[in-house]
Structure 1
Amino acid sequence: MQLTFDADVESFRAEFVAFLAEHLPDAAVAGADRAGSSADIPGWAREWQRRQFDSGWLLPGNPPEYGGRNATLVQQYVHLEELSKRHMYHSFNPQGLGIIAASLLSFGTEEQKKRWAVRILRAEITAALGMSEPGAGSDLAGLRTRAVLDGDHFVVNGQKVWTSGAHDADVLLTFVRTDPDAPKHKGISVLLIPTDTAGVTRRPFASICGPHDLDFNEVFFEDVVVPAQNLVGPLHGGWGVANGSLGHERTLLWLSFADRLRELIRDFRPETVLERDRYATMVMDNQALRLLGSAALARAARGDQDVAALSVLKVFGSEAVQSAAEQTLLAAGADGIVHPAVTAPFNPLNLDNFSCSWFERYVRSFAGTIAGGTSEIQRNIIAERVLGLPRS
């Protein structure tokens, strides 16, 4: 068992730390450019992302032409670790960077990579993911948004919901049904739909954090004409693209959970014996999550595909964060419903700082047990692939 990193990894870390020391955005500058709603992408954030791209630090695992430096999986881990230590994101369009651009690099044509992926990676445009629909959330295969191929274009009709950042996005990676007569997993395709296309309507709606936190959207498509060249992957082959997109979403997701746990532990102030016991549980959960994640990382670095291990990490990490948020809220008492703007200034560099009370942060923690694959689905995977239980 090796509990330290090799010299090449630590050299990689030191180079990135030096880059951060020189280029990390200043909070004062960032705060002065805080225009619009919390979902808008300010100018300083676009410049920060572009600088990372040009220096090969945006997504180090990518080749240089796509904002990276062909880093190993372990090097990518320490890259994210250093960002998390500073509570800093490499992009304020996480879906665009981590899902849409990544999916285009995996499944798109060379023209699509240059026209769309590179511009998303360089923060020249932003992107959102059009997957969920009313009645087709966890069951993506139940989607009903229809796209009919008519010569050199598709005509799209339907609706999406919970589309994060859609009102501020330039393009939507949209999952549509192109063959209604095929089995539901086999009749799906994926289209890039610019949001300024005639017939596209975006309606943002507020979350638990109030009317100014506009991130979720309803998106309506009414006879939307989309060029056939905007098809991503094969016609009727969208299910494979969907699995790849969710795979990108789950990459090193456990590190994000561990970081959130660490923040909750930092802010927890145990006073009673019971609170000290809860605090100890949070500390142990955080350590267990990092050890399990490190073991899974080591297996992945050796080329082992361990889907079940990722499911274990997803369930444990998301539910540990949810439990810790609940305990912190209980410990905070009446102070837990006080908006943080009353007691502390907003930190524009921290995307996790939603300007929410502890109550709101607790409610938000439920998203972690849904996004990237629900806990129920992950438990099915664990039951079948780890415990060998029958599907029925």
Structure 2
Amino acid sequence: MQLTFDADIEEFRQEFAAFLDAELPAEADAAERARSSADIPEWARAWQRKQFDAGWLLPGNPPEFGGRNAGIVEQFVHLQELSARRIYHSYNPQGLGIIAASLLTFGTPEQKQRWAVPILRAEITASLGMSEPGAGSDLAGLRTTARLDGDHFVVNGQKVWTSGAHHADVLLTFVRTDPEAPKHKGISVVLIPTDTPGVTRRPFGSIASRDDHDFNEVFFDEVRVPAENLVGKLNDGWTVANGSLGHERTLLWLSFADRLDDLLRDFRPNTVLDNDRYASLVMDSYALRLLGSKALARAARGEQDTPSLSVLKLLGSEAVQRATEHAFSAAGGDGLVHPATTAPYCHMDLEQFYASWFERYARSFGFTIAGGTSEIQRNVIAERVLGMPRR
């Protein structure tokens, strides 16, 4: 396998690199940090709008939605360049990569203009209301209800782990609209503005967050939502759910590969990691990039290979978790100490530079949960890759 790109792809990369060289905000203008994954500082809003207007926000989108109709390989190169420079293109990643993308796939023309474009232009931010206290990995077990009352839905229930909800303007919320239907068949999706009466958001911390809170529990008490906020067809929310997570997973493996490479660079000066463990992690990194490149090539040929995304997600998330676990173990008591290091303002993993090895290890558990747990990925691989029976 020769991992090189054609001349036109490299030309695309150079054009994007020139845009970054010319337009990236100055460090002095970008000192304010985001407080959650749905909180965008003013300088970052301006930066996201600049990318949107130039067609560099999401190159695979049409120009009217912040892109330039780029192919999958060009989209990969775009992410590669952002990653190499440690640059965020949005401080509301779920809004950009899941919610706006879902609206562009399943939304009406009016919804695209009213909701998707403002999210893409960082004029509003969005969070994803999927998980519930009794329905995390099993989304089809959700119990939040939406009852149609005239031209409104009346929503009651609870969500949890809703990242950034306390700063979000709107929630893409999965609700049960037909309690009599089989559990996969009675789900719908509605957009709920967070200032709607009856919506309560309560942020909470985690073992991996010292200061800023991102997780929320969200309560809906007789929340009236216009029926026109229904995304997709009534009782067909399972289709939207699969599309939403598909948007999240498409090139997710690249972020895991970059995280793993960052960790490997950090090991030698900061920990005493035995050669066998270090070598195993290096092999994980190579395997992830080679398998990811193979999947990318298939996608470029127009071949559908959804199960391979489960393999990549499982390998990448668990490799990062193993890496941080080994580092924390090797560091001993020093692994609990916060390093006094300074990170570039635009670094994609800014928090890790202010975190102990323990915090980085604790945070890694989120990678094996978000976007589909490792257990679910193993089920997908068993059934759709290995051909094993469901029972």
Q: TM-score range by the shorter chain?
A: over 0.9
Matched residue SS, 1:212: coil
Matched residue SS, 2:30: helix
* TM-aligned CA distance change 1:236 to 1:206, over 3 Å: same
* Residue in 2 that maps onto 1:183: 182
Query: For the residues of structure 1 that align with 2:271 and 2:218, how far apart are their CA atoms?
Result: 48
Say whether the 8 Å CA contact 1:38–1:213 is kept in structure 2.
Answer: no
Give the alignment of 1:157-176 within 5 angstroms.
157-176=156-175
Query: For the residues of structure 2 that align with 1:231 and 1:39, how far apart are their CA atoms?
Result: 22
Q: Are residues 1:378 and 2:377 paired?
A: yes
* TM-aligned CA distance change 1:319 to 1:246, over 3 Å: same
Give the alignment of 1:208-287 within 5 angstroms.
208-210=207-209, 212-269=211-268, 275-287=274-286
Aligned residue identity for 2:346:
L
Structure 1 residues 279-288 or 207-216, which shifts more?
207-216
Matched residue SS, 1:303: coil
Query: For the residues of structure 1 that align with 2:172 and 2:84, how far apart are their CA atoms?
Result: 31
Aligned residue identity for 1:60:
P
* Residue in 2 that maps onto 1:52: 51
Query: For the residues of structure 1 that align with 2:272 and 2:49, how far apart are their CA atoms?
Result: 49
Say whether the 8 Å CA contact 2:208–2:362 is kept in structure 1.
Answer: no
The offset of 1:347, in angstroms, is: 4.3
Q: Are residues 1:95 and 2:130 paired?
A: no
Query: For the residues of structure 2 that align with 1:308 and 1:37, how far apart are their CA atoms?
Result: 31
Matched residue SS, 1:330: helix
* TM-aligned CA distance change 1:274 to 1:79, over 3 Å: closer
The offset of 1:3, in angstroms, is: 2.2
Aligned residue identity for 2:342:
P
Query: For the residues of structure 2 that align with 1:238 and 1:364, how far apart are their CA atoms?
Result: 30
The offset of 1:271, in angstroms, is: 9.4
Structure 1 alignment gaps of length 5 or more = none
Query: For the residues of structure 2 that align with 1:67 and 1:281, how far apart are their CA atoms?
Result: 40
* Residue in 1 that maps onto 2:192: 193
* TM-aligned CA distance change 1:36 to 1:73, over 3 Å: closer
Aligned residue identity for 2:245:
L
TM-score by length of 2: 0.96
The offset of 1:373, in angstroms, is: 1.1
The offset of 1:345, in angstroms, is: 3.1
The offset of 1:344, in angstroms, is: 1.8
* Residue in 1 that maps onto 2:27: 27
Q: Are residues 1:13 and 2:13 paired?
A: yes
What are the Cα deviations for residues 232-270 of structure 1, in whole angstroms up to 9, with x where unaligned? 000111110000001011010000100100110110017
Query: For the residues of structure 2 that align with 1:238 and 1:189, how far apart are their CA atoms?
Result: 4
Say whether the 8 Å CA contact 1:39–1:213 is kept in structure 2.
Answer: no
Structure 1 residues 66-75 or 371-380, which shifts more?
371-380
Matched residue SS, 1:223: strand
What are the Cα deviations for residues 167-188 of structure 1, in whole angstroms up to 9, with x where unaligned? 0000000000000011111111
* Residue in 1 that maps onto 2:358: 359
Say whether the 8 Å CA contact 1:269–1:331 is kept in structure 2.
Answer: no
Q: Are residues 1:331 and 2:330 paired?
A: yes
The offset of 1:76, in angstroms, is: 0.2
What are the Cα deviations for residues 155-200 of structure 1, in whole angstroms up to 9, with x where unaligned? 1111100000000000000000000011111111100000000110
The percentage of counterpart residues that share the same residue type is 75
* TM-aligned CA distance change 1:227 to 1:385, over 3 Å: same
Structure 1 residues 22-31 or 303-312, which shifts more?
22-31
Cα RMSD, aligned residues only: 1.7
Structure 1 residues 237-246 or 210-219, which shifts more?
210-219
The offset of 1:374, in angstroms, is: 1.1
Match of 2:346 among 338, 349, 357: 349
Aligned residue identity for 2:366:
A
Q: Are residues 1:79 and 2:78 paired?
A: yes
* TM-aligned CA distance change 1:187 to 1:272, over 3 Å: closer
Structure 2 alignment gaps of length 5 or more = none
TM-score by length of 1: 0.96
* TM-aligned CA distance change 1:273 to 1:329, over 3 Å: closer
The offset of 1:332, in angstroms, is: 2.5
What are the Cα deviations for residues 54-110 of structure 1, in whole angstroms up to 9, with x where unaligned? 000000000000000000100000100011111111100000000000000000000
Matched residue SS, 1:133: coil
The offset of 1:303, in angstroms, is: 1.0
The offset of 1:278, in angstroms, is: 1.9
Aligned pair count?
389
* TM-aligned CA distance change 1:35 to 1:381, over 3 Å: closer
The offset of 1:329, in angstroms, is: 1.5
Aligned residue identity for 1:349:
C
Structure 1 residues 73-82 or 275-284, which shifts more?
275-284
* Residue in 1 that maps onto 2:298: 299
Q: Are residues 1:315 and 2:320 paired?
A: no
Query: For the residues of structure 2 that align with 1:34 and 1:254, how far apart are their CA atoms?
Result: 26
The offset of 1:211, in angstroms, is: 5.1
* TM-aligned CA distance change 1:209 to 1:317, over 3 Å: closer
Matched residue SS, 1:10: helix
The offset of 1:126, in angstroms, is: 0.1
The offset of 1:37, in angstroms, is: 6.3
* Residue in 1 that maps onto 2:201: 202
Structure 1 residues 100-109 or 204-213, which shifts more?
204-213
* Residue in 2 that maps onto 1:112: 111
